[in-house]
Amino acid sequence: MSKLVLAALCLGALPLLAAAETWTDVPLIDQNCSTKYNFKTADTHTRSCALSCASSGYGILTSSGTYLKFDKSGSQKVLKELKASSKKDHIRATVTGDQEGSSIKVQSVKLD
| pLDDT digits 0-9 by tens, 72-108 | 999 999 999 999 999 999 999 999 999 999 999 999 9
Domain-located, residue 8? no
Residue span of the structural domain in which 79 resides: 20-111
- Tell me the pLDDT tens digit for each residue of 48-81: 999 999 999 999 999 999 999 999 999 999 999 9
Using DSSP's 3-state secondary structure scheme, residue 51 falls into: helix
Domain-located, residue 48? yes
Q: Of 87, 62, 63, 93, nearest to 75 (Cα)?
A: 93
Q: Would you say 60 and 68 are in contact if contact means Cβ atoms under 8 Å apart?
A: yes
pLDDT for residue 2: 53
Read off the amino acid at residue 41. Answer: T
- Tell me the pLDDT tens digit for each residue of 9-22: 555 555 555 689 99
Number of domains the chain is built from: 1
Provide the b/e sequence for 4-27 (b: ≥16 CB within 10 Å).
eeeeeeeeeeeeeeeeeeebeebb
Domain-located, residue 97? yes
pLDDT for residue 12: 55
